[in-house]
Amino acid sequence: MARLAQLRLSMGTSILLVSLVFAAFLTVIMAILQLNLVWALVLTGIFILIQYLIGPVIVRASTNLRYLRSGEHPWLESTVKDLAQKSGIPMPKLATVPNDTPNAFVFGRTTGNATLAVHEGLLTRLNQDEVRGVIGHELGHIKHRDFLIMTALSSLPLLAYLIFRGTFEAAWISGRTSKKKEGGGLAAALFVVSIVSYIVYIISLLCVMRLSRLREHYADAYSAYVTESPRQLSSALTKITYGLSLSPKPPHGARMFYIADPALAKQEVQGLLQRKEQYDLDKDGVLDERELELAMEKEAKSRWASVNRWFQTHPPTFQRILLLREIEKEMTSGRYTTKRVYAHV
C-alpha cells in the first residue's frame, strides 16, 4: 500500500531521534554525576522492558474493562471478525469499558494478543455503521503495529520526567542542608541534571506527540479502506468529539491510545462555542455542517492553535474529517485503488 512505508520511516526516524537524544542525555548526566554510563543504559533498557510488560496490566486495571465471552455480543464479534479477516490480522480479544463516553482503544504486547476495547457509550451513542468505522480505525492501529511502538517510545519521555523530578527535589534538599555544611557542589550538579532532564523531556515528548498524531491519520485512512465508507468514521468522529467534550470526568492518563483525546475534544468544542456568533452565518443560533466546516478551517489558520497542537496526542477533528472527505471524493470518482489508501495522509 502506497505511503505506508512513510509511516514506518517516520516511526523509525522518531525512535532513532529520541534514542539519540536520550543517549546524549544519559552521557551528559553520567559525566556530571561521575557515574558509569553502562549502568545507565542497562537501567534504561530495564525501565523500557518493564513499561512494555506491565503496560497492558495497567491499562486493564485503570479502565476497569471486562472481556466479552464468545457469543455475548454477536454483532460486535462478527463485525470485528469480518474486518480483521479482511485486514489479514488475528482476531483481537474484545472487551467493553463501563464508561458512558464514546471512545475505543487497542493495546497489548503483540498483534497476536491485542485487545480491542470499546466504551459502552460508543455502542449506545453511535449507530452500527459509525461503530464499524471506529472498529476499522482501531484495527488499523493493529495492522500498523504502532500501538507497540508507542508503548515503548513513550517510556523515554516518562523516564526523563521522573529523573527531572527526582534530581530537582534532591537538589532542593541538598541545597538546604549545604547551608550548614559543605556540599553545595552536589546540589549544583543535581540542579543542572534536572534542567537537562526537563529539556530532554520536552524534546522527546514533542517527537512522540508528532508520531502519535501521524499514526491517527494513517488509521483513519485505513478505516476508510477496510470499511469502504469514509463517511462512517467521519460521522463517528463528530459524535465522539462532542460526546467527549460533555464529559465531566478528567481525561484518562493513557489518552494517546484512544480514538479521540477527551482533553482535545473539550478544547475544540469550547473554542467554537465561544465564537459561535462569529461563525453562525445565518444567525439561527445553531452551527450547521457548512458553518462548522468553515469555522474549523478558520480555526486552523490560527498561529497559536498550530503551536499548541505540537503537544497534542491527536490531530484536530476537522483535519481528520477533511482527510476522510478527500478519500470519499476519490472513491466516488472511481480513481481510488488499494495503492492509494494512504495517498491523502
Return the active site residues.
138
CA 337 to chain centre: 28
Residue 103 sits at φ, ψ, to 5 deg, of -160, 170
Give the DSSP H/E element, type plus range, for residue 58. helix 37-63
- Packing angle, helices 155-177 and 4-33, rounded to 10: 20
**Contact predicate 171/196, CB 8 Å:** no
DSSP assignment string, 96-154: EES-SS--EEEE-SSGGG-EEEEEHHHHHHS-HHHHHHHHHHHHHHHHHTHHHHHHHHT
CB hemisphere CA count around 310 (13 angstroms)? 11
Q: How far apart are CA 254 and CA 249, in angstroms?
A: 14
**Contact predicate 154/256, CB 8 Å:** yes
Q: Taking the CB of residue 299, how many other CB atoms lie within 10 A of it?
A: 16
In sequence order, the 6+-apart residues with CB closer than 8 A to the CB of 62 are 252, 253, 254
